[in-house]
Structure 1
Amino acid sequence: MKRLKLTSLLAAVGVFVLAGAAHAAGESVATFNNVSGDIGIARNGTTMNAVSGSTLFVSDRIVSGAGSSAGIVFKDGTQLTLGPSTDIQVRDYAFEPKQAKFEFFVYLARGAAVYSSGMIAKLSPESVKVATPTATIGVRGTRFIIEAD
């Protein structure tokens, strides 16, 4: 009987530890919709191929090959469409309306992307930033194309 209680206790502790590790890793912030060609997601030192339904996390870097494109939809409805030979990273993202916590920051190292604002730009426009090697853009709710060499 005591052995069973100890095993149950250890199993419960294991569940809490695993839940904590999953929470520490963070929740996904976006999902790929349309993926065409070679799109890679670099995460924690590994690279995986993106397919429709793949999820993105803060710090993920997305690299599209020549002739490739992808549509990404963030939790707040923000849409990014990546063109060929694009390298972009999700640097920060938060969409927690109940806590009034909003953040959207992506860095476009090279290539081209079409941005279409979602709820973050409507609720907290000062929280949206898109940066390139030569500029940082503050978005105030709009749709635009951005390119970086």
Structure 2
Amino acid sequence: MTVTLKSVGTFAALFLVGVAPAIAAPQQVGVVAKVDRQAVASQSGQARDMAPQGPVFFKDMIRTGAESRLEAKLADDTVLTLGENGRLTVDDFVYKPGAQGGKLALSVARGAFLFVGGKIEGPTGGNVAIKTAVGTLGVRGTTVWGGAIDGGYGVLVLDGEVMLKTKRGSVLMRKGQGTMVYKGRAPEAAAPWPDDRTKRAVATVTISEQAQFVPTLNR
């Protein structure tokens, strides 16, 4: 069965997953792997705590609190980590279990994130887009970090390659390269980051082994 979920064409998506529109329920696209402190998801006016091993649904708006982290694993083995005060939504998810390829679109409106690609990326890539505060990332065979750092917005490619497209220009980055985007400017040329900046970026999405989930809604 192919899971096909999009922000438009809702009726068709419901038909494909075998759910009648009259009784439509949010469709699960992944699971929460880890949470440090606070994380909440909201959808259709309803909010819930995102506890470890809990579901991730299509179109969830996922939010993390101060000093909080969340790691989620999608059905195709994509792994998403969201740093503190973050906000992330799965906008598009097309995946056939056991197959390579499909389509994945994410929006990261706030906070630092780490994306580790799964089966949707496929052997040729080009199936994943991540919308950020400064532009859209097209990823290929990728592990990529993004977030605010050093007075701007940074993108660092840890594996694979990423094309960042903004209103003022584009830049292609390969493994070990990053860019910075400052307000009103085009992205800087791809180049290795200083070790200190890289370490600080990674720290924003690192989840402690002593991570402890703190419910905020259902106490």
Percent identity at matched positions?
A: 27
Deviation at 1:53, TM superposition (A): 1.3
1:144 match: 144
Deviation at 1:26, TM superposition (A): 5.0
- For the pair 1:51 / 2:51, whether they are aligned, the reply is yes
- The one-letter code matched in structure 2 to 1:129 is A
Deviation at 1:109, TM superposition (A): 0.4
Ranges of 4+ aligned residues in structure 1 off by more than 6 Å: 98-101
Deviation at 1:25, TM superposition (A): 3.1
2:185 match: none
| SS at structure 1 position matched to 2:126 | helix
| SS at structure 2 position matched to 1:59 | coil
- For the pair 1:129 / 2:129, whether they are aligned, the reply is yes
2:112 match: 112
Deviation at 1:47, TM superposition (A): 1.1
More helix by share: 1
2:102 match: 102
RMSD of aligned residue pairs (Cα, Å): 2.3
Distance 1:118 1:101, change over 3 A: closer
Query: Do 2:131 and 2:137's aligned partners in 1 also have CA atoms closer than 8 Å?
Result: yes
Task: For 2:76 and 2:48, locate their aligned partners in 1 and report how far apart those are by CA, in whole Å.
Answer: 25
* 1:111-143 deviation digits (Å, cap 9, x = unpaired): 011110111112462220101132000010110
- The one-letter code matched in structure 2 to 1:112 is A
* 1:33-65 deviation digits (Å, cap 9, x = unpaired): 111111010111111111011111221110000
Larger radius of gyration: 1
Equivalent positions of 1:1-149 (< 5 A) are 20-21=20-21, 24-25=24-25, 27-96=27-96, 102-123=102-123, 125-147=125-147
TM-score (norm 1): 0.78
Task: For 2:57 and 2:124, locate their aligned partners in 1 and report how far apart those are by CA, in whole Å.
Answer: 21
| SS at structure 1 position matched to 2:59 | coil
Task: For 1:91 and 1:103, locate their aligned partners in 2 and report how far apart those are by CA, in whole Å.
Answer: 10
- The one-letter code matched in structure 1 to 2:56 is L
Task: For 1:116 and 1:22, locate their aligned partners in 2 and report how far apart those are by CA, in whole Å.
Answer: 36
Name structure 2 gaps, 5 residues minimum. 1-18, 154-219
Distance 1:22 1:30, change over 3 A: farther
Task: For 2:95 and 2:73, locate their aligned partners in 1 and report how far apart those are by CA, in whole Å.
Answer: 13
- The one-letter code matched in structure 2 to 1:37 is R
Query: Do 1:102 and 1:124's aligned partners in 2 also have CA atoms closer than 8 Å?
Result: no
- The one-letter code matched in structure 1 to 2:70 is A
Name structure 1 gaps, 5 residues minimum. 1-18
- The one-letter code matched in structure 1 to 2:126 is E
